[in-house]
C-alpha cells in the first residue's frame, strides 16, 4: 500500500483526524502525571498502575455494554481466529503504564514522554515498513527519518542543554 494518503480523504477530514490525534496525544502526559501522583499516595507504582487499569477496565466495560447493547462474547471453537499474540496488548499496556510511573520522577513528564514517543515512533516505523501483523506497509522515507532525528534533537536539547 502506498504511504501517501488516499485521494478520497478530503483536506478538512484529514485536518480533523490530525486534531483528534493531537487531542489524544495530550492524554498520555496527563495520565503519566496523574498516575505518578497516585504512586506517592498509595506508595507503590504497581498499585498505581493497577488502579489505573481497573478504572480503565470498568470504563471500557460500561462503554462496550452501551455501544454493543449488552455483553456479546462469542467464541467459536472450530473457527477461533484470535491468536495468542492478540492478547499481548494488555501486557504491553501494563508495562507501559508502570514504566511511565517509574520514569516520571527521574526524567519529568516532558522528557519521559519524549523518550517514550521516540520509542513509539521507532517501533511504528518498523511495523509500518514491514507491514507487521497484517497491517498495510508504509515505507520508511526521508520525511520519517527527519522526524525521528528532530525528536532525538529535542530529547538531547532537554537533557543536555
Residue ranges per structural domain of the chain: 27-72+83-160
Give Cα 3 to chain centroid, integer Å.
21
Residues of the chain with pLDDT under 70: 1-9, 72-80
* pLDDT, position 161: 75
The burial of 123, by beta-carbon neighbours within 10 Å (0-12 exposed, 13-18 middle, 19 or more buried), is given as exposed
Residue whose grid cell is 532525538: 152
At 55-66, the pLDDT tens digits run 999 999 999 888
Contacts of 115 (CB under 8 A, 6+ apart): 103, 107, 155
Whole-prediction pTM: 0.69
What's residue 75's pLDDT? 54
Q: What's residue 73's pLDDT?
A: 61
The pairs formed by 37-40 with CB atoms below 8 angstroms and a separation of 24 or more are: 39/101
Sign of CA dihedral 4, 9, 12, 14: negative
Q: Can you read off the three cell numbers belonging to residue 36?
A: 505518578
**The pLDDT of residue 6:** 47
CA 34 to chain centre: 17
* CB burial of residue 45 (10 Å; 0-12, 13-18, 19+): buried
Confidence at residue 57, expressed as pLDDT on a 0 to 100 scale: 92
Amino acid at each position: 500500500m502506498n504511504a501517501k494518503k488516499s485521494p478520497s480523504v478530503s483536506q478538512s477530514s484529514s485536518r480533523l483526524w490530525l486534531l483528534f490525534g493531537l487531542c489524544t496525544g495530550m492524554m498520555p502526559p496527563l495520565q503519566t502525571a496523574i498516575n505518578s501522583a497516585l504512586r506517592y499516595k498509595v506508595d507503590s507504582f504497581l498499585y498505581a498502575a493497577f488502579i489505573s487499569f481497573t478504572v480503565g477496565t470498568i470504563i471500557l466495560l460500561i462503554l462496550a455494554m452501551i455501544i454493543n447493547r449488552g455483553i456479546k462474547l462469542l467464541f467459536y471453537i472450530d473457527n477461533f481466529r484470535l491468536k495468542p499474540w492478540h492478547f499481548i496488548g494488555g501486557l504491553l499496556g501494563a508495562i507501559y503504564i508502570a514504566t511511565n510511573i517509574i520514569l516520571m520522577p527521574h526524567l519529568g513528564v516532558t522528557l519521559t514522554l519524549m523518550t517514550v514517543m521516540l520509542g513509539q515512533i521507532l517501533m511504528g516505523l518498523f511495523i509500518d515498513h514491514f507491514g507487521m501483523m497484517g497491517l498495510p506497509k508504509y515505507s520508511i522515507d526521508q520525511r520519517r527519518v527527519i522526524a525521528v532525528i528532530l525528536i532525538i534533537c529535542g530529547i538531547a536539547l532537554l537533557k543536555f542543554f
